[in-house]
Chain A
Amino acid sequence: MSYKRKDLLGMIDLSSEEITYLLDTAQTFCEINERDVKKVPTLKGRTVINLFFEPSTRTRTSFEIAGKRLSADTVNFSASSSSTTKGETLIDTVKNMEYMHSDVFVVRHAYSGSVKFISENTDASVINAGDGLNEHPTQALLDLLTIRQHKGDIKGLEIAIIGDITHSRVARSDIWAMKKLGANVRLFGPPTMLPKYIEPFGCRKCATMEEAVEGADVVMMLRVQRERQGKLLLPSTREYAKFFGLTNQKLNLAKEDAIVMHPGPINRGVELMSNVADCSRSVILPQVSNGVAVRMAALYLLGLKKGGQSENTAEKL
């Protein structure tokens, strides 16, 4: 098995074999991250540009660290998603970067589908670091890697995803990937944050928090975006915490060895109570560590492809 695509755009396109291959590759990078000297020469001489059209610090930092540990030259480029601000179109911006002889673009953008649009207009490899409400594939990979490390096989696991499903690219990527690997996924959130047409997800929609958590192997809480408060999706964060937040009491309905996950940054006391976030079942910080390994795997698999390098370079690691 190998990863033959030019880009990593979304989990919806990938086969379970491709996902597993990405996870296996990421697992080998976990070890490098624990060394004293956390650097390998694999992508030496390659240029990775973090093209961020939407503010982000943690995802960008994670990609930057991943690139540096592979010895790639990583450069950050930040701009606004609104094409009118500078009068330059998105494709012109991307083409300019491409003609600086870049090998990989890591792209975040505020609009769904725009990373695919970029990939269709450049010869460079493109990694989607989040496009609008659509996908955030490396987040799904790091979630799966974390689950795999704690639970072994993904197949047959009961996974609850709770929060703003409609506006979450994390939820979309997770759902596509988890379903492909055979997990049973249940969804819960306020009706204002659940898609009206939920069938394509192939998930069970739960009526209460209790139903969502009961018997779960994994409880994944999504971040409440505070700016949504007062914009008709929720009346207050206080009330959100009461009906949709994860407390110790509710978590006790899950399996005894259930793990708690969150894509970060967490709102303590809103979707996640502090004592849950910090409890022994929380794997939120290991998720962050795995994020670097997963992004190294993605950069490695796509970055080496550029320039017709043979794939057995991997064995020189």
Chain B
Amino acid sequence: MKTLLKNCKIVNYDKTIDGNILIDGEIIASLSASADEKADKTIDCKGKYVVPGLIDMHVHFRDPGLDYKEDIISGSKAAAAGGVTAVCPMANTKPVNDNSTITKYMIEKGKDFGVCDIFPIGAMTKKMDGEELTEMGDMAEAGAIGFSDDGKPVCSAEVFRRAAEYASQFNSFVISHAEDKSLAGAGVINDCETATVTGLRGIPAESEEVMVARDILMSKLTGTHVHICHISTKGTLELIRWAKAKGLNVTCEVTPHHFKLDDTELLSYDTNFKMNPPLRGKEDVEAMIEGLKNGDIDCIVTDHAPHHIDEKNVEFDLAMFGITGLQTLLPLSLELVSKGVISMNDFVRLTSYNPAKLLKKADRGEIAEGKLADIVVVDTEKEYEFTLELNQSKSTNSPFIGKMLKGAALYTIKNGKVVFEFPA
């Protein structure tokens, strides 16, 4: 099966070229094919950008065990609709992904459906209890790509140290959900003026920063690559900058909601703005944008966290933390491009090239001959309402549902096959 994408503006992390992409089977055969090349399927991409399939290093697919929120099928559909061709689901499933059986189940189910690659993050500790190490060797062999107790930070520095040391044996890395739970306390939003006004309890920025500092030092102690999850504060970024200047093996990620929205949204008590880490102040949002611009932040991830409406349509304190994000990743990130904050090449660097490098997946992250044909045709000018009909997730907990978005995946191509086409 051959597919021809003609009249493409091909965007890679380092340059943009005009070309015609010929896909042969699952692989990119050529970027300089003739526009008349015979193919089974031809897509005219005139006026559109063509970028590598997005890689989202941080999602929650709730499968196994919590499939009333999402499963690997619905999650894969949401990914494809968002131009995402590979995801890393976190381990807080039910039961926890703390053994190779569950890791294999997740990968196989994703493969069978064939829309999006699943690279599971295994738990660092058994049941994510923060006490005993998981069988990381077995899990890595089965395909676990990294290790994290995301959502339940590892309190003990000793446990984190040993997990980081042990993971390195299998050429793997650890991901830190940096949060001091004792300092976050019963907080539900950022500790800020909005907390004073609404009477909602605050989570201080320092509850994140104190653990970021610790886990940077754990990277220094162990030499293991430590990736800091969903950073949200200006102070965190200063610590990351310090670590990188020291040459430590530390990277980080940010979600679109943390560079798009600030804590004043919480004046509405709308539970679709309740997430962890919480939306922070305007200064923090500006710092995130600056970090994306100057390269201190390595990648953009969604922290796609589907929850059932019954878990959100409750008292604010009782509502679950988190929002969905796979279908808003592209438009919210492209907004930075249209505002001139980052270039299209930066966009590609942050959403596919860097994640592929961090995950050591040499077969993707670039549109080049011989690479996997994971490709997205992007219409940066398309304006549309994010309707419930467009939403592919099982859950609807996004503050952007019903809002106008600009920029969409017109075609998502996975392993050479068109797996999503924007509805006409």
Chain A residues within CB distance 8 Å of chain B: 12, 81-83, 89-91, 109-114, 116-117, 131-135, 169, 172, 195-201
Q: Which of B195, B196, B310, B317 has the most CB of A within 10 A?
A: B196
Known: A135-B199, A199-B196. 6 other contacts (CB 8 A): A112-B198, A113-B316, A114-B317, A117-B269, A196-B204, A200-B197
Chain B residues within CB distance 8 Å of chain A: 191-193, 195-202, 204, 269, 310, 313-318
Cβ–Cβ < 8 Å partners of A169 in chain B: 199
Shortest Cβ distance from residue A291 to the other chain B in the assembled complex, whole angstroms: 21
Known contacts: A196-B191, A197-B192. The answer to whether A117 contacts B316 by CB under 8 A is: yes
* Contact in complex: A113, B197 (CB < 8 Å): no
Distance A81 CA – B317 CA, assembled complex (angstroms): 10
* Contact in complex: B193, A199 (CB < 8 Å): yes
Cβ–Cβ < 8 Å partners of B313 in chain A: 89, 91
Known contacts: A12-B197, A135-B199. The answer to whether A111 contacts B318 by CB under 8 A is: yes
* Contact in complex: B314, A112 (CB < 8 Å): no
Known contacts: A114-B316, A117-B315. The answer to whether A198 contacts B199 by CB under 8 A is: no
* Contact in complex: A196, B202 (CB < 8 Å): yes
Distance A135 CA – B195 CA, assembled complex (angstroms): 13
* Contact in complex: A172, B191 (CB < 8 Å): no
Known contacts: A89-B314, A196-B191, A197-B191. The answer to whether A112 contacts B196 by CB under 8 A is: no
Known contacts: A89-B310, A116-B269, A133-B201. The answer to whether A195 contacts B315 by CB under 8 A is: no
Q: Closest B-chain residue to A10, C-beta based?
A: B199
* Contact in complex: B193, A197 (CB < 8 Å): yes
* Contact in complex: B191, A112 (CB < 8 Å): no
Q: Which of A91, A111, A116, A196 has the most CB of B within 10 A?
A: A111
Q: Which 7 A-B pairs have the closest CB atoms?
A: A134-B199, A112-B199, A133-B199, A113-B269, A111-B317, A114-B315, A195-B196
Q: Could you show 25 A-B contacts with beta carbons less than 8 Å apart?
A: A81-B315, A83-B315, A89-B313, A90-B315, A111-B318, A112-B198, A112-B199, A112-B200, A112-B201, A112-B269, A113-B200, A113-B316, A114-B316, A114-B317, A116-B269, A117-B269, A117-B315, A132-B199, A133-B200, A133-B201, A169-B199, A172-B199, A196-B202, A196-B204, A198-B196
* Contact in complex: B196, A113 (CB < 8 Å): no
Distance A113 CA – B199 CA, assembled complex (angstroms): 8
Q: Closest A-chain residue to B196, C-beta based?
A: A195
Shortest Cβ distance from residue B312 to the other chain A in the assembled complex, whole angstroms: 11
Cβ–Cβ < 8 Å partners of A135 in chain B: 199
Shortest Cβ distance from residue A186 to the other chain B in the assembled complex, whole angstroms: 16
Cβ–Cβ < 8 Å partners of B315 in chain A: 81, 83, 90, 109, 111, 113-114, 117
Distance A196 CA – B316 CA, assembled complex (angstroms): 21
Shortest Cβ distance from residue A125 to the other chain B in the assembled complex, whole angstroms: 19
* Contact in complex: A134, B191 (CB < 8 Å): no
Distance A117 CA – B193 CA, assembled complex (angstroms): 21
Shortest Cβ distance from residue B213 to the other chain A in the assembled complex, whole angstroms: 20
Cβ–Cβ < 8 Å partners of B195 in chain A: 195, 197
Distance A133 CA – B200 CA, assembled complex (angstroms): 7
Q: Closest A-chain residue to B192, C-beta based?
A: A197
